[in-house]
Amino acid sequence: MFVSTRGRTPPVDLITALKSGLAPDGGLYMPAVLDTMEPELLRASPRRSLADTAARVLRALLKSDLPCALDAAVQAAFDFPIPLVPLTDRIHVLELFHGPSLAFKDVGARFLAGALMAARPDDRPQTVLTATSGDTGGAVAHAFFGLQGVRVVILFPDGQVSPVQRRQFTTLGGNVQAVGVAGSFDDCQQLVKGAFADTDLCRRIGLTSANSINVGRLLPQVVYYIHAVAQLPSDTQEIVLSVPSGNFGNLTAGLLAKRMGLPVTRFVAATNANDVVPEYLRSGRLRPRPSVRTVSNAMDVGDPSNLERILALYDGDLRRIRRDLSGRAFTDEQTMACIADTAERHGYVLDPHSAVGLLGLQAELAECGAAVGVTLATAHPAKFPDVVRRAIGRTVDVPARLACLEGRPSQAGRMEPSLDALRALLDSA
């Protein structure tokens, strides 16, 4: 069962949580109980595939609330490798970018799509509405593309998304409709919120959100933390895990894994100049503010929605949060230097988001003697060719699944940032 972070509505089952996105009291859904996992799950086994691990972890998370949908969703979400690559003897990189859109969001989006499809009780229409600043659009578009009876509408700020990112969700066509909004990402999010507040509209078109407020994106992300730690040497004493963060869904999943018994000593919340969370950890003051643009644009979030989940997980107790979590923020200059330095020293090319993660890990390891560190690589460097070229003077090879989109025509529509315009669009067939 799933409960709201605000605790003012009754618990719901998985499918209700997936379909409604936000809880009726405005809170976010969280698993009602987090049991400790069997220790055996936390150890590597050469006989267990990633999909097997995923099925067992998700069964532990969902327990009896186990729709027949689960196996299908697991197969859909974990059909690409997630390797742990050593950079030095103390630093490992968990590569989460081997899915279709080359970013970690593929895991959550594909699980959500698989679960929603398998759980559909009838043939009523379903509309998935999502705002994207870049990476969510590609992951959601690829996850839902071609699925029967589901219409996907992706709102993006026109002119503010990189060409590679844009191609990933505007060239598929079919049941995936991309709409450039003449406004900012905040305008897009406002429109999505407005649509969800219209209960009549929601019922009429079966509206669901695929943004990271949806707990269906969160749950499968717990899996790869367990998968990563299981691959470290079994005598590893202290483990530090760094997560490049924007909306903090990824980090929330890591903290859920720790609550379920994953032996991670500390997490690092690594951010760019959008440092609301590091500042909160330092000063105790929570000051959401408009985002500023950086080279790691998927983390340009000024009011991270999943912080509400983290606070709920720790009953709002900052002392306890600080025990598990360090906050560290970095400038674009530091990010660029890290990409250059890592390429030169280790022959490994990071994307700008993953570079922020590595900076966070290096800073944390410098302060605690014996620890071994894992940092999450959240996107493939080929997704950000301009930034990478500026950092190291060259680009990296573009994987085939990205290259094949080049030259395909964009099918994006355009829209003014008005709720009436969005209603009209959603009601049109």
> What residues make contact with ligand PLP under the rule CB under 6 A?
103, 105, 135, 212, 244-250, 298-299, 353, 378-379
- In angstroms, give the least distance from the CB of 192 to ligand PLP: 15
- In angstroms, give the least distance from the CB of 377 to ligand PLP: 9
Tell me which residue of 271, 261, 217 sits closest to 239, measured CA to CA. Answer: 261
Report the alpha-carbon distance of residue 134 to residue 376 in Å, rounded: 19
What is the DSSP secondary structure assignment for residue 305, as one 8-state letter? T
- In angstroms, give the least distance from the CB of 293 to ligand PLP: 15
Sheet with 413-415, strands from edge to edge, namely: 207-209, 126-131, 150-157, 176-181, 413-415
326/378 with CB nearer ligand PLP = 378
Report the alpha-carbon distance of residue 21 to residue 28 in Å, rounded: 8
Amino acid letter for position 202:
C
**What values do phi and psi take at 283, rounded to 5?**
-105, -15
- Report the relative pairing of strands 150-157 and 126-131 from DSSP bridges: parallel
- In angstroms, give the least distance from the CB of 106 to ligand PLP: 10
Do 175 and 152 meet the contact criterion of CB atoms below 8 Å apart?
A: yes
126/168 with CB nearer ligand PLP = 168
168/208 with CB nearer ligand PLP = 168
DSSP E strands, 115-257? 126-131, 150-157, 176-181, 207-209, 239-244
The number of residues making up the chain comes to 429
Residue carrying the six token digits 């340009």: 300
126/335 with CB nearer ligand PLP = 335
205/304 with CB nearer ligand PLP = 304
Do 265 and 324 meet the contact criterion of CB atoms below 8 Å apart?
A: no
Do 334 and 383 meet the contact criterion of CB atoms below 8 Å apart?
A: no
- In angstroms, give the least distance from the CB of 160 to ligand PLP: 15
- In angstroms, give the least distance from the CB of 69 to ligand PLP: 23
Q: Left (φ > 0), alpha (ψ -120 to 50) or beta: where does 376 sit?
A: beta
288/413 with CB nearer ligand PLP = 288
- In angstroms, give the least distance from the CB of 103 to ligand PLP: 4
170/294 with CB nearer ligand PLP = 294
- In angstroms, give the least distance from the CB of 354 to ligand PLP: 7
- In angstroms, give the least distance from the CB of 178 to ligand PLP: 17
343/379 with CB nearer ligand PLP = 379
143/415 with CB nearer ligand PLP = 143
Q: What is the CA radius of gyration of the chain?
A: 20
111/426 with CB nearer ligand PLP = 111
Q: Give the contacts of 118 (CB within 8 A, at least 6 positions apart).
A: 67, 68, 69, 70, 72, 73
- In angstroms, give the least distance from the CB of 200 to ligand PLP: 31
User: In the structure encoding, which two tokens stand for residue 404, read together?
Assistant: 């094949």
Sheet with 239-244, strands from edge to edge, namely: 84-86, 91-95, 372-377, 239-244, 266-271, 325-329
Q: Give the contacts of 340 (CB within 8 A, at least 6 positions apart).
A: 391, 392
User: In the structure encoding, which two tokens stand for residue 354, read together?
Assistant: 């993953």
